[in-house]
């Protein structure tokens, strides 16, 4: 009667719970789907449906023997940490974008203008939210979320159940990946930063040449105008840098799987 269901016998409940833990933790960590913008009444059925679809494909052949509830709970925690680690790699890119927006907003003089971000439930600078929305649109347009679903399926071929661990190699890899966040932020903020630096130098020369001129009143709207113009001109560079960062996630995930295997 229930032959078409992925879970046919009671012995499949434990493996399915482990698959569900890995899928749920990934969706809790990746951008867009893990944010509070997506309500729980949508996330919960989506995660459960994906786990049902993935389970017949990745159904673990061998489940580690657990003799008590504590052992099973630790196994679920380890499975959840695998999904959280995968989502952490993508969150680093968005953290770099937000840091870039904060730096650009500070240089333009609009850092005091903040908006409520429903994704983080915090007030963030306007430029950080603007660039975060651009990064989110590119994330969805490139189908990076599909890549993470494939990564979950492929992870069972390299990372068996309960194989998550922290050693020197994994820790070094995560630190190097975190340092890449600053590199992305510098690349994204460089065009506007260089232009505004040249503007400040030019205004300093004008201030020395015309002492009676109120340079402060001129610099504020000038920095904002030049910042928006350069930001619009450098938008293809912004998207190209993010495209390269998202494209590099595949290599980072493969390295992580080898370290966890």
pLDDT digits (tens, 9 = 90+) for 23-36: 888 888 887 776 66
The residue that leads in pLDDT, 167 or 186, is: 186
Determine the pLDDT at residue 120: 57
How far apart, in Å, do the first and last CA atoms of the chain sit?
39
Scan for tokens 């673990």, then name that residue.
60
pLDDT of 142 > 60? The answer is yes
CB 134 within 8 A of CB 241: no
Q: What percent of the chain has pLDDT over 70?
A: 84
Q: Report pLDDT for 7.
A: 63
Q: Which stretch, 35-39, 68-72, 165-169, has highest mean pLDDT?
A: 165-169
127-131: long-range contacts (C-beta < 8 A, 24 or more apart)?
127/101, 127/102, 128/97, 128/98, 128/99, 128/100, 128/101, 128/102, 129/101, 130/101, 131/97, 131/98, 131/100, 131/101, 131/104, 131/188, 131/238
Token code pair at residue 239: 């998207």
Give the pLDDT mean for 90-103: 86
Q: How confident is the model at residue 29, as a pLDDT?
A: 81
Going by pLDDT thresholds of 50, 70 and 90, the confidence category of residue 1 is: very low
Per-residue pLDDT at 123 exceeds 70: no
Question: How confident is the model over 87-110, as a mean pLDDT?
Answer: 84
The count of residues in the chain is: 261
pLDDT value of residue 2? 46
Mean pLDDT of 12-24: 80
Q: What's the pLDDT tens digit per position in 202-244?
A: 888 887 877 777 777 777 888 888 888 888 898 888 889 888 8
Tell how far CA 87 is from the center of its chain. Answer: 6
CA distance 105 to 101: 6
Are 46 and 27 in contact by the 8 Å Cβ rule? The answer is yes
Task: Report whether pLDDT(250) > 80.
Answer: yes
Average pLDDT, the chain: 79
Stretch 59-72: mean pLDDT:
64
């Amino acid at each position: 009667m229930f032959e078409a269901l992925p879970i046919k016998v009671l012995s499949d409940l434990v493996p399915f719970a482990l698959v569900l833990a890995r899928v749920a933790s990934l969706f809790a960590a990746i951008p867009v789907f893990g944010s509070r913008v997506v309500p729980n009444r949508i996330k919960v059925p989506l995660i459960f449906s994906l786990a049902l679809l993935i389970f017949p494909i990745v159904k673990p052949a061998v489940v580690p023997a657990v003799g008590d509830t504590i052992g099973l709970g630790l196994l679920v925690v380890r499975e959840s940490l695998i999904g959280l680690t995968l989502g952490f790699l993508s969150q680093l890119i968005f953290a770099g974008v937000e840091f870039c927006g904060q730096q650009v907003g500070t240089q333009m003089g609009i850092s005091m203008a903040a908006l409520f971000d429903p994704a983080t439930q915090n007030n963030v600078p306007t430029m950080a939210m603007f660039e975060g929305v651009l990064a989110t649109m590119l994330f969805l347009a490139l189908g990076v979320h599909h890549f993470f679903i494939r990564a979950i399926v492929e992870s069972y071929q390299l990372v068996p159940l309960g194989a998550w661990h922290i050693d020197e190699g994994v820790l070094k890899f995560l630190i190097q990946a975190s340092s890449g966040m600053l590199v992305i932020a510098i690349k994204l903020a460089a065009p506007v930063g260089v232009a505004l630096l040249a503007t400040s130098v030019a205004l300093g020369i004008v201030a020395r040449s015309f002492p009676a001129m109120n340079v402060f009143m001129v610099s504020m709207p000038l920095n904002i105008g030049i910042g928006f113009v350069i930001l619009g001109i450098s938008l293809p560079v912004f998207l190209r840098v993010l495209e390269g960062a998202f494209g590099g996630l595949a290599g980072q995930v493969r390295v992580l799987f080898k370290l966890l295997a």
